[in-house]
Amino acid sequence: MTQNKSVLEWIGKMKELVCPDNVVWIDGSESQLESLREEACKTGEFIKLNQEKLPNCYLHRTAVNDVARVEGRTFICSRKEEDAGPTNHWMEPQQAYKMLYDIARGSYKGRTMYVIPYSMGPIGSPFAKIGVELTDSIYVVLNMSIMTRVGEKVWDVLGDSNDWVRGLHCKCDVDPEKRYICHFPEDNTIISVNSAYGGNVLLGKKCFALRIASYLGKNEGWMAEHMLILGIENPKGEVKYVAAAFPSACGKTNLAMLIPPEVYRKKGYKVWTVGDDIAWMRIGPDGRLWAINPENGFFGVAPGTNEKSNPNALRTTQSGTIFTNVAYNKDDGTVWWEGLDHNPPKNGIDWTGKPWDGTTSTEKGAHPNSRFTAPAKNCPCISPEFDSPNGVPISAIIFGGRRAHTTPLVYQSRSWNNGVFVGSIMASETTAAATGAVGVLRRDPMAMLPFCGYNMGDYFAHWIEMGEKLGDKAPKIFNVNWFRVDENGKFIWPGFGDNLRVLEWILNRCEGKADAVETPIGYVPKAEDINLEGLDLTLDTLKSILYVDKDEWTKEAADIEEFYKKFGDKLPKELRAELEGLKARLK
């Protein structure tokens, strides 16, 4: 427990509001967590899986109306509406507090309040931030104890400071009509009501690590980004780190846990995962940009994860993992999801809890957004620097999207500000899986569209400011696109582990060891500088996906112009100048 006045006062106030039958302080000990797992199994909230095949693994099902993040009910409650900006839903703070407190009032009657002290980042790290989440859900407690660093030591580090993020979660009746996830950036507060699904209730995840942290970063001079962090070790044993942002369905987790192709493995290349989702970055004492992964686990999408697509992610889930909304195999007490293998259970239970024969059913066994929460330590390629309090130095920042034609396989920005421009125009074409319409362009600046906790125009300005502070020590900025297709709609670049070939060129560029060709959009590799050894791809085919088509980019520039209008006078003049520069070069 803690003697911190601000913590005790706030908990007292919340207790009065939600009226729990009892209060349990989470100390992070294995014995306490084990008794909570047992309790969850007794009430049916958890199903204990086959402990020989999946030691310490459990299955959980959410309500069928509560299976994903709800962007339409996610609000930024800043005092001024313009501070939330055009890409967020806004609510006036006092109105929001009143509405949320009315919904939450008395909702813990007959329930237990769990108090979770947690650290985002290694406890005591200069990068780390502390949060306290109150919840009436054992599922939340057990997931937070995987995803963050939970326990008594957090109180020791916090001492009597008031610098911590308040999080209140109330399951209430899991009513989608009264479901709200609200962020109060100026008050360091998050409130979530009427949901029990991970992304809406594990308040350390997107709520704190991105929405609140991006606002803190702007004010305190650091960056909270929706980025993986990856270390690439060359045969000499030197490791260089990159941070990369991709919208969903663009291969982010696969890249984070990349396995080098055989020709690289034989030479001694290794890849190290520091983080798969979030990077907090600060300027270090040496003037370079250093990054940590503030999380302690992976909250991954299960469907499509398999031995071929992501063997490291699959191995990460083999122990100590909570599976949410996947299918259950009654015969051997294991789990299954679409894309895992070709052996769905005959005697199964689907994600809604109904009997399911995967060999004949046309219904899906797992929900398309079903998840696994797994300890990062399980990952076979977890970086030795994972717990380093000072993080890792970033050599390159990579943006990516999913484009069938316009964007080349890889290009380097012309400067830091031009790189910010490249990140601000990131876009993906929708796939059949995402929506009914295929090929619709969705811009998602820096992959932060749903996660930026303040006005995105100010967010762009913060990036430009960070570049000024970093000066010539700033990481180089690149853009990649693994998704160019041929006339039959087939992907041309092999992707997966072979993406290391592109990363190698990127790192060579950072070290001045590779040449490039100047184009209107930036610097593209000479085809012969990308290693095709062991790959069934001709130099001419590679040239075709490095080609920059001026006509397509002229259309793109017009589309960017349109997109930029939504930021009004908040759009930094530097980005306006970058767009004008692009248009001039295309002429």
Buried (b) or exposed (e) across 311-322, using 16+ Cβ within 10 A? ebbbbbbeebbb
Q: Annotated catalytic, 77?
A: no
- Catalytic pick from 57, 172, 250, 452? 250
Long-range contacts of 360-368 (CB under 8 A, 24+ apart): 364/338, 365/326, 365/327, 365/336, 365/337, 365/338, 366/302, 366/303, 366/325, 366/326, 366/327, 366/336, 366/337, 366/338, 367/67, 367/325, 367/326, 368/303, 368/338, 368/433
Q: Give phi and psi for 335, each to the nearest 5.
A: -115, 165
Cα 97–100–105 angle (5° rounding)?
A: 115
One-letter amino acid of 398: I
Place of tokens 């057990």: 142
Cβ proximity of 247 and 442 under 8 Å: yes
Query: CB neighbours (10 Å) of residue 372?
Result: 24
Cβ proximity of 321 and 300 under 8 Å: no
Please enumerate in sequence order all residues whose Cβ is within 8 A of that of 432, keeping only pairs 6 or more positions apart, or say none. Answer: 438
Alpha-carbon 345 to chain mean position: 31
DSSP codes of every residue in 260-288: --HHHHHHT-EEEEEESS-EEEEE-TTSS
Cβ proximity of 308 and 317 under 8 Å: no
Give 478's strand partners.
398, 412
Tell me the CA end-to-end span of the chain in Å, nearest whole number.
66
Known catalytic residues are: 250
